[in-house]
Protein backbone atom coordinates (compact mmCIF):
# COMPACT_ATOMS: atom_id res chain seq x y z
CA UNK A 1 0.00 0.00 0.00
CA UNK A 2 1.32 3.44 -0.96
CA UNK A 3 0.79 5.82 1.93
CA UNK A 4 0.89 9.58 1.38
CA UNK A 5 0.88 11.59 4.58
CA UNK A 6 -1.24 14.73 4.68
CA UNK A 7 1.08 16.06 7.37
CA UNK A 8 4.54 14.84 6.29
CA UNK A 9 6.29 17.15 8.75
CA UNK A 10 4.01 16.18 11.59
CA UNK A 11 5.31 14.20 14.51
CA UNK A 12 4.92 13.86 18.22
CA UNK A 13 3.96 17.19 19.80
CA UNK A 14 6.30 18.98 22.19
CA UNK A 15 3.69 18.45 24.92
CA UNK A 16 3.71 14.68 24.49
CA UNK A 17 7.48 14.63 24.23
CA UNK A 18 8.08 16.63 27.41
CA UNK A 19 5.40 14.82 29.41
CA UNK A 20 6.88 11.45 28.44
CA UNK A 21 10.33 12.66 29.48
CA UNK A 22 8.92 13.97 32.77
CA UNK A 23 7.41 10.55 33.49
CA UNK A 24 10.67 8.80 32.60
CA UNK A 25 12.70 10.92 35.02
CA UNK A 26 9.99 11.26 37.67
CA UNK A 27 10.13 15.02 37.13
CA UNK A 28 7.65 17.64 38.29
CA UNK A 29 5.62 18.47 35.21
CA UNK A 30 5.18 22.22 34.83
CA UNK A 31 5.13 21.76 31.07
CA UNK A 32 1.78 20.52 29.81
CA UNK A 33 -1.09 22.85 30.61
CA UNK A 34 -3.35 21.05 33.01
CA UNK A 35 -4.04 21.53 36.73
CA UNK A 36 -2.87 18.91 39.21
CA UNK A 37 -5.85 19.73 41.44
CA UNK A 38 -9.39 18.54 40.92
CA UNK A 39 -12.35 20.54 39.73
CA UNK A 40 -15.05 21.80 42.08
CA UNK A 41 -16.91 18.97 43.86
CA UNK A 42 -20.14 20.89 43.23
CA UNK A 43 -19.59 20.61 39.48
CA UNK A 44 -18.71 16.91 39.71
CA UNK A 45 -21.84 16.38 41.78
CA UNK A 46 -24.09 18.00 39.18
CA UNK A 47 -22.53 15.99 36.36
CA UNK A 48 -22.84 12.76 38.37
CA UNK A 49 -26.46 13.63 39.05
CA UNK A 50 -27.27 13.84 35.37
CA UNK A 51 -25.16 10.80 34.50
CA UNK A 52 -27.14 8.81 37.05
CA UNK A 53 -30.46 10.18 35.76
CA UNK A 54 -30.26 8.85 32.25
CA UNK A 55 -28.86 11.91 30.46
CA UNK A 56 -26.84 9.56 28.31
CA UNK A 57 -28.25 10.06 24.82
CA UNK A 58 -27.46 12.58 22.10
CA UNK A 59 -27.97 16.25 22.76
CA UNK A 60 -29.06 18.39 19.80
CA UNK A 61 -26.31 18.83 17.22
CA UNK A 62 -25.67 22.44 18.30
CA UNK A 63 -25.70 21.52 21.97
CA UNK A 64 -28.15 21.55 24.88
CA UNK A 65 -30.39 24.55 24.27
CA UNK A 66 -30.62 25.44 27.97
CA UNK A 67 -26.82 25.63 28.10
CA UNK A 68 -26.73 27.83 25.01
CA UNK A 69 -29.31 30.09 26.64
CA UNK A 70 -27.17 30.33 29.78
CA UNK A 71 -24.14 31.23 27.68
CA UNK A 72 -26.11 33.87 25.79
CA UNK A 73 -27.01 35.52 29.11
CA UNK A 74 -23.43 35.27 30.32
CA UNK A 75 -22.10 36.88 27.13
CA UNK A 76 -24.67 39.65 27.28
CA UNK A 77 -23.75 40.47 30.87
CA UNK A 78 -19.97 40.35 30.37
CA UNK A 79 -19.66 41.91 26.92
CA UNK A 80 -22.92 43.83 26.46
CA UNK A 81 -23.68 41.83 23.35
CA UNK A 82 -26.75 39.67 22.79
CA UNK A 83 -26.13 36.51 20.77
CA UNK A 84 -28.96 34.28 19.69
CA UNK A 85 -28.59 30.87 21.39
CA UNK A 86 -30.44 29.27 18.52
CA UNK A 87 -28.22 30.45 15.68
CA UNK A 88 -24.96 31.84 17.12
CA UNK A 89 -23.69 29.35 19.74
CA UNK A 90 -22.54 25.75 19.25
CA UNK A 91 -21.30 23.43 22.00
CA UNK A 92 -18.18 21.57 20.88
CA UNK A 93 -16.02 18.64 21.95
CA UNK A 94 -13.37 20.99 23.26
CA UNK A 95 -11.80 24.17 21.90
CA UNK A 96 -9.41 22.32 19.59
CA UNK A 97 -12.33 20.67 17.83
CA UNK A 98 -13.97 24.07 17.47
CA UNK A 99 -10.79 25.53 15.96
CA UNK A 100 -10.45 22.57 13.58
CA UNK A 101 -14.09 22.90 12.56
CA UNK A 102 -13.90 26.65 11.96
CA UNK A 103 -10.81 26.37 9.77
CA UNK A 104 -12.19 23.38 7.87
CA UNK A 105 -15.52 25.11 7.27
CA UNK A 106 -14.29 28.56 6.29
CA UNK A 107 -10.84 28.18 4.69
CA UNK A 108 -10.46 26.83 1.16
CA UNK A 109 -7.63 25.29 -0.83
CA UNK A 110 -5.21 27.99 -1.93
CA UNK A 111 -6.32 30.50 0.72
CA UNK A 112 -3.89 32.19 3.08
CA UNK A 113 -4.33 32.30 6.86
CA UNK A 114 -2.36 34.70 9.04
CA UNK A 115 -1.34 33.40 12.46
CA UNK A 116 0.52 35.27 15.19
CA UNK A 117 3.59 33.39 16.39
CA UNK A 118 4.49 31.97 18.82
CA UNK A 119 1.17 30.25 18.05
CA UNK A 120 -0.67 27.38 19.68
CA UNK A 121 0.39 24.29 17.78
CA UNK A 122 -2.96 23.10 16.41
CA UNK A 123 -3.45 26.07 14.06
CA UNK A 124 -0.84 25.35 11.38
CA UNK A 125 -1.53 21.61 10.85
CA UNK A 126 -5.24 22.27 10.38
CA UNK A 127 -4.52 25.01 7.84
CA UNK A 128 -2.27 22.59 5.97
CA UNK A 129 -4.91 19.85 6.01
CA UNK A 130 -7.29 22.06 4.02
CA UNK A 131 -4.44 22.82 1.57
CA UNK A 132 -4.25 26.47 2.52
CA UNK A 133 -1.06 28.42 3.22
CA UNK A 134 -0.06 29.50 6.71
CA UNK A 135 1.34 33.05 6.83
CA UNK A 136 3.12 33.63 10.15
CA UNK A 137 3.53 37.01 11.78
CA UNK A 138 6.36 36.70 14.30
CA UNK A 139 6.41 38.40 17.69
CA UNK A 140 9.70 39.32 19.33
CA UNK A 141 10.50 39.22 23.03
CA UNK A 142 10.57 40.33 25.66
CA UNK A 143 7.60 42.63 24.95
CA UNK A 144 5.89 40.53 22.26
CA UNK A 145 3.93 43.50 20.91
CA UNK A 146 2.09 43.42 17.59
CA UNK A 147 3.01 45.97 14.93
CA UNK A 148 -0.34 46.06 13.18
CA UNK A 149 0.99 47.94 10.14
CA UNK A 150 3.50 45.14 9.66
CA UNK A 151 0.80 42.51 10.09
CA UNK A 152 -1.42 44.38 7.61
CA UNK A 153 1.38 44.16 5.05
CA UNK A 154 0.96 40.36 5.12
CA UNK A 155 -2.66 40.58 3.98
CA UNK A 156 -3.20 39.68 0.34
CA UNK A 157 -6.12 38.98 -1.97
CA UNK A 158 -5.83 35.34 -0.86
CA UNK A 159 -6.14 36.05 2.88
CA UNK A 160 -9.34 34.43 4.13
CA UNK A 161 -8.67 34.26 7.87
CA UNK A 162 -6.64 35.84 10.67
CA UNK A 163 -6.27 33.80 13.86
CA UNK A 164 -5.85 35.68 17.12
CA UNK A 165 -5.37 34.36 20.65
CA UNK A 166 -6.02 36.47 23.74
CA UNK A 167 -4.98 35.81 26.46
CA UNK A 168 -2.14 34.33 24.46
CA UNK A 169 -0.71 30.86 24.91
CA UNK A 170 2.26 30.47 25.25
CA UNK A 171 3.42 34.03 25.99
CA UNK A 172 0.72 35.10 28.46
CA UNK A 173 0.02 38.50 26.83
CA UNK A 174 -3.41 40.07 26.30
CA UNK A 175 -4.88 42.30 23.62
CA UNK A 176 -5.68 45.92 24.48
CA UNK A 177 -8.46 48.04 22.99
CA UNK A 178 -5.94 49.55 20.58
CA UNK A 179 -5.15 46.06 19.27
CA UNK A 180 -8.81 45.35 18.63
CA UNK A 181 -9.33 48.66 16.84
CA UNK A 182 -6.29 47.97 14.66
CA UNK A 183 -7.64 44.51 13.83
CA UNK A 184 -11.02 46.04 13.04
CA UNK A 185 -9.39 48.45 10.58
CA UNK A 186 -7.54 45.63 8.84
CA UNK A 187 -10.60 43.49 8.16
CA UNK A 188 -12.85 46.43 7.28
CA UNK A 189 -14.15 46.06 3.71
CA UNK A 190 -12.26 42.81 3.31
CA UNK A 191 -13.59 39.25 3.10
CA UNK A 192 -11.53 38.07 6.06
CA UNK A 193 -12.80 35.92 8.94
CA UNK A 194 -11.28 36.37 12.40
CA UNK A 195 -10.89 33.13 14.35
CA UNK A 196 -10.55 34.27 17.96
CA UNK A 197 -9.10 31.76 20.41
CA UNK A 198 -10.35 32.98 23.81
CA UNK A 199 -10.08 29.84 25.92
CA UNK A 200 -8.44 31.75 28.79
CA UNK A 201 -11.02 34.56 28.84
CA UNK A 202 -11.43 34.38 32.64
CA UNK A 203 -7.75 33.93 33.47
CA UNK A 204 -6.62 37.58 33.26
CA UNK A 205 -4.72 39.44 35.98
CA UNK A 206 -3.87 42.85 37.43
CA UNK A 207 -7.36 44.21 36.66
CA UNK A 208 -6.84 43.90 32.90
CA UNK A 209 -10.12 43.57 31.01
CA UNK A 210 -10.55 40.82 28.44
CA UNK A 211 -10.96 42.25 24.95
CA UNK A 212 -13.26 39.70 23.36
CA UNK A 213 -14.34 40.12 19.76
CA UNK A 214 -17.82 39.92 21.27
CA UNK A 215 -17.30 43.52 22.42
CA UNK A 216 -16.70 44.75 18.88
CA UNK A 217 -19.70 44.38 16.53
CA UNK A 218 -17.73 45.15 13.38
CA UNK A 219 -15.29 42.34 14.19
CA UNK A 220 -17.95 39.97 15.51
CA UNK A 221 -19.84 40.07 12.22
CA UNK A 222 -16.76 38.53 10.61
CA UNK A 223 -15.67 36.20 13.37
CA UNK A 224 -15.88 32.87 15.15
CA UNK A 225 -14.82 32.90 18.82
CA UNK A 226 -13.76 29.76 20.66
CA UNK A 227 -14.04 29.09 24.41
CA UNK A 228 -13.25 26.19 26.74
CA UNK A 229 -15.14 24.84 29.74
CA UNK A 230 -12.22 22.51 30.41
CA UNK A 231 -9.75 25.36 30.85
CA UNK A 232 -12.21 27.44 32.85
CA UNK A 233 -13.33 24.74 35.27
CA UNK A 234 -10.05 22.78 35.76
CA UNK A 235 -11.27 19.76 33.77
CA UNK A 236 -9.25 19.63 30.57
CA UNK A 237 -9.91 15.92 30.11
CA UNK A 238 -13.62 16.48 29.57
CA UNK A 239 -12.88 18.11 26.20
CA UNK A 240 -15.87 20.40 26.06
CA UNK A 241 -16.10 23.98 24.85
CA UNK A 242 -18.15 26.19 22.59
CA UNK A 243 -18.00 28.46 19.57
CA UNK A 244 -19.80 31.77 19.07
CA UNK A 245 -20.25 33.44 15.73
CA UNK A 246 -22.55 35.48 13.53
CA UNK A 247 -25.45 33.45 12.10
CA UNK A 248 -24.02 33.25 8.58
CA UNK A 249 -20.65 31.96 9.77
CA UNK A 250 -22.15 29.67 12.40
CA UNK A 251 -24.34 28.04 9.77
CA UNK A 252 -21.19 27.08 7.85
CA UNK A 253 -19.47 26.00 11.07
CA UNK A 254 -22.33 23.61 11.90
CA UNK A 255 -22.23 22.03 8.44
CA UNK A 256 -18.81 20.63 9.34
CA UNK A 257 -19.50 20.15 13.05
CA UNK A 258 -22.41 17.77 12.37
CA UNK A 259 -20.17 15.43 10.32
CA UNK A 260 -17.21 15.81 12.67
CA UNK A 261 -18.57 14.94 16.12
CA UNK A 262 -22.29 15.71 15.63
CA UNK A 263 -22.70 16.70 19.30
CA UNK A 264 -20.68 16.92 22.50
CA UNK A 265 -21.30 14.59 25.45
CA UNK A 266 -24.69 15.08 27.04
CA UNK A 267 -24.48 14.71 30.82
CA UNK A 268 -21.54 17.12 31.10
CA UNK A 269 -23.58 19.74 29.25
CA UNK A 270 -26.43 19.33 31.72
CA UNK A 271 -24.05 19.60 34.67
CA UNK A 272 -22.28 22.70 33.36
CA UNK A 273 -25.64 24.34 32.71
CA UNK A 274 -26.49 23.92 36.40
CA UNK A 275 -23.05 25.12 37.49
CA UNK A 276 -23.14 28.34 35.44
CA UNK A 277 -26.02 29.63 37.55
CA UNK A 278 -23.43 30.68 40.14
CA UNK A 279 -21.36 33.30 38.30
CA UNK A 280 -18.80 33.45 41.11
CA UNK A 281 -17.50 30.10 39.83
CA UNK A 282 -15.86 31.86 36.87
CA UNK A 283 -15.68 35.50 38.00
CA UNK A 284 -13.46 34.46 40.93
CA UNK A 285 -10.86 32.79 38.71
CA UNK A 286 -8.62 35.85 38.12
CA UNK A 287 -7.95 36.18 41.84
CA UNK A 288 -7.38 32.45 42.25
CA UNK A 289 -4.84 32.14 39.45
CA UNK A 290 -3.15 35.49 40.01
CA UNK A 291 -2.28 34.30 43.50
CA UNK A 292 -0.67 31.20 41.97
CA UNK A 293 1.24 33.26 39.40
CA UNK A 294 2.51 35.60 42.09
CA UNK A 295 3.40 32.71 44.38
CA UNK A 296 5.48 31.00 41.71
CA UNK A 297 7.29 34.24 40.90
CA UNK A 298 7.97 34.83 44.58
CA UNK A 299 9.35 31.32 44.99
CA UNK A 300 11.70 31.89 42.05
CA UNK A 301 12.57 35.49 42.90
CA UNK A 302 16.19 34.64 43.74
CA UNK A 303 16.67 32.11 40.97
CA UNK A 304 18.48 32.77 37.70
CA UNK A 305 15.20 32.39 35.82
CA UNK A 306 13.75 35.80 34.99
CA UNK A 307 9.97 36.07 34.49
CA UNK A 308 8.20 37.79 31.61
CA UNK A 309 5.13 38.69 33.61
CA UNK A 310 2.01 36.82 32.59
CA UNK A 311 -1.06 38.99 31.96
CA UNK A 312 -3.30 35.99 31.37
CA UNK A 313 -3.53 32.19 30.91
CA UNK A 314 -1.99 29.95 33.55
CA UNK A 315 1.45 30.06 31.99
CA UNK A 316 4.51 32.12 32.79
CA UNK A 317 7.50 32.63 30.48
CA UNK A 318 10.96 32.62 32.01
CA UNK A 319 14.19 33.87 30.46
CA UNK A 320 17.01 31.39 31.17
CA UNK A 321 19.82 33.36 29.45
CA UNK A 322 21.72 33.75 32.74
CA UNK A 323 21.90 29.97 33.05
CA UNK A 324 22.70 28.61 29.61
CA UNK A 325 23.46 29.43 25.97
CA UNK A 326 21.70 26.25 24.84
CA UNK A 327 18.71 26.44 22.53
CA UNK A 328 15.40 26.19 24.35
CA UNK A 329 14.64 22.58 23.38
CA UNK A 330 18.04 21.34 24.56
CA UNK A 331 17.75 23.38 27.74
CA UNK A 332 14.25 22.01 28.44
CA UNK A 333 15.45 18.45 27.93
CA UNK A 334 18.33 18.99 30.35
CA UNK A 335 16.06 20.75 32.83
CA UNK A 336 13.82 17.70 32.87
CA UNK A 337 16.46 14.98 32.94
CA UNK A 338 19.01 16.66 35.22
CA UNK A 339 16.96 18.92 37.49
CA UNK A 340 13.66 16.97 37.28
CA UNK A 341 11.38 19.87 36.35
CA UNK A 342 9.59 19.71 32.99
CA UNK A 343 8.93 22.89 31.02
CA UNK A 344 7.87 23.72 27.48
CA UNK A 345 10.33 25.45 25.12
CA UNK A 346 9.07 28.38 23.06
CA UNK A 347 10.57 27.56 19.64
CA UNK A 348 8.12 24.73 18.71
CA UNK A 349 5.41 27.42 18.59
CA UNK A 350 7.26 29.18 15.74
CA UNK A 351 7.84 28.54 12.04
CA UNK A 352 11.23 30.24 12.09
CA UNK A 353 13.45 28.85 14.82
CA UNK A 354 14.82 31.68 16.92
CA UNK A 355 16.62 31.30 20.21
CA UNK A 356 14.77 33.61 22.61
CA UNK A 357 16.07 31.55 25.54
CA UNK A 358 12.55 31.29 26.93
CA UNK A 359 10.69 28.43 28.57
CA UNK A 360 7.06 28.22 29.62
CA UNK A 361 6.03 27.00 33.07
CA UNK A 362 2.46 26.17 34.08
CA UNK A 363 1.36 27.54 37.46
CA UNK A 364 -2.03 25.79 37.53
CA UNK A 365 -0.66 23.52 40.23
CA UNK A 366 -1.06 22.89 43.93
CA UNK A 367 1.10 25.14 46.10
CA UNK A 368 3.05 22.09 47.21
CA UNK A 369 3.87 21.24 43.60
CA UNK A 370 5.07 24.79 42.91
CA UNK A 371 7.17 24.74 46.08
CA UNK A 372 8.82 21.43 45.17
CA UNK A 373 9.56 22.66 41.63
CA UNK A 374 10.95 25.96 42.87
CA UNK A 375 13.25 24.19 45.33
CA UNK A 376 14.80 22.29 42.43
CA UNK A 377 14.96 25.30 40.10
CA UNK A 378 16.58 27.52 42.69
CA UNK A 379 19.55 25.12 42.80
CA UNK A 380 20.48 25.79 39.18
Whether 204 and 167 have beta carbons less than 8 Å apart is answered as yes
Fold category of 41-278 in CATH: 3.40.640
Average pLDDT for residues 327-337, to the nearest whole number? 94
Q: Which stretches within 31-146 are classed as H helix? A: 41-51, 65-79, 95-106, 123-129
**DSSP labels for 239-260?**
--EEEEE-HHHHHHHHHHHHHH
- The pTM of this model reads 0.95
Q: Report cis status (omega within 30 of 0) of the bond before 167.
A: yes
pLDDT single digits (tens) 145-171: 999 999 999 999 999 999 999 999 999
pLDDT single digits (tens) 29-82: 999 888 999 999 999 999 999 999 989 999 999 999 999 999 999 999 999 999
- 14-39+283-377: CATH number: 3.90.1150.10
Domain parsing of the chain, residue ranges = 14-39+283-377, 41-278
pLDDT single digits (tens) 2-28: 888 888 877 678 888 888 888 899 989
Amino acid sequence: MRLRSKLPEGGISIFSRMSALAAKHNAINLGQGFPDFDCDPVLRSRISHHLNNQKNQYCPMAGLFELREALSKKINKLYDHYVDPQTEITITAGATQAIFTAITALVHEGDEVIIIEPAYDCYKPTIELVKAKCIPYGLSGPDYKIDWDELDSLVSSKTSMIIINTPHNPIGKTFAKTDMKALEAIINQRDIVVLSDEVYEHLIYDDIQHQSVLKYPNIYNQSISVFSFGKTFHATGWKIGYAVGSPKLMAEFRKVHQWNVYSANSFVQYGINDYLKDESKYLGLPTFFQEKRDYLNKLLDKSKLKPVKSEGTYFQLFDYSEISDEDDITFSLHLTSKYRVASIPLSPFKSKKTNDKMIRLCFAKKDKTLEQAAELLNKI
